[in-house]
Structure 1
Amino acid sequence: MTIATAKLSDPVVRRLVEAINGHDRNAFVGLLTTDATMSDDGSDRNLQEWIDREIFDAGGRMDVQKESDGGHTLLARFRNDTWGEMSTVWRFDVHDGRVSRFETGQA
């Protein structure tokens, strides 16, 4: 079962998912703090390089299956042209209307 993006609880996370699915890198980056960080499968990565390689240059798309923690944790089917489709978990730290950190990895 997929949760419609418009139904996601946290408005910042909702706009971030919309930016991913709309392939709108500028909107995505605009939702991050200037010092935002991220990790993939437990390893910190260079955020700008990662979002280009895994999301925006690779046709990334997220279908949310479940949300928890006030909408800051998502279980989602994520797919891109490099890795295909996989079950992933995303955790977002949201402060003052921006994401300061997100962590993702296989579920």
Structure 2
Amino acid sequence: MTIPAAKLSHPAVRALVTAINGGDPTAFFAVLTPDATMSDDGADRPLAAWADREIFSSRGRMEVQAEKQGGLALVATYRNDTWGEMRTAWRFTVDGERISRFETGQA
């Protein structure tokens, strides 16, 4: 069973997932702090280049399967045109109303 993005508990995470699924880089970056960082499979990556490659130019989409920690941890099926479909874990750090860091990797 998937959790629709509109039903996710944390508003910043909900906005980020909605931006990813909508292919909307403007909305994606708007929910991040200006100095936001991220990691993929334990390695820090340049966020803008990673988002373009892994989300926007490859039509990335998330189907959230579960959320924990008040919505700051997700398990999702993630798919894009480059890698296909995989089970992923996402963890978010929020500063105020925006995400300052996220970590993702295979679950």
Normalised by the length of structure 2, the TM-score is 0.99
Measure, in 1, the Cα distance between the counterparts of 2:36 and 2:63. 23
Query: In structure 2, what residue type is equivalent to 1:7?
Result: K
Query: In structure 1, what residue type is equivalent to 2:31?
Result: L
Q: Percent identity of the aligned residues?
A: 65
List alignment gaps of at least 5 residues for structure 2. none
- 1:45 matches 2:48: no
- 1:11 matches 2:11: yes
- 1:97 matches 2:94: no
The alignment of Structure 1 onto Structure 2 pairs a total of residues equal to: 107
Q: Which residue of 1 aligns with 2:67?
A: 67
Instruction: State the SS of the aligned residue for 2:67.
Output: strand
Tell me how far 1:5 sits from its aligned partner.
1.1
Q: Which residue of 2 aligns with 1:76?
A: 76
Tell me how far 1:95 sits from its aligned partner.
1.3
Query: In structure 2, what residue type is equivalent to 1:3?
Result: I
| Deviating 4+ runs (over 3 angstroms) | none
- How much is the aligned-residue C-alpha RMSD, in angstroms? 0.4
Q: Which residue of 1 aligns with 2:58?
A: 58
List alignment gaps of at least 5 residues for structure 1. none
Query: In structure 2, what residue type is equivalent to 1:106?
Result: Q
Instruction: State the SS of the aligned residue for 2:3.
Output: coil
Task: For 1:14-33, list aligned pairs within 5 A.
Answer: 14-33=14-33
Instruction: State the SS of the aligned residue for 1:70.
Output: helix
Measure, in 2, the Cα distance between the counterparts of 1:27 and 1:4. 18
Tell me how far 1:4 sits from its aligned partner.
1.2
Q: Which residue of 2 aligns with 1:87?
A: 87
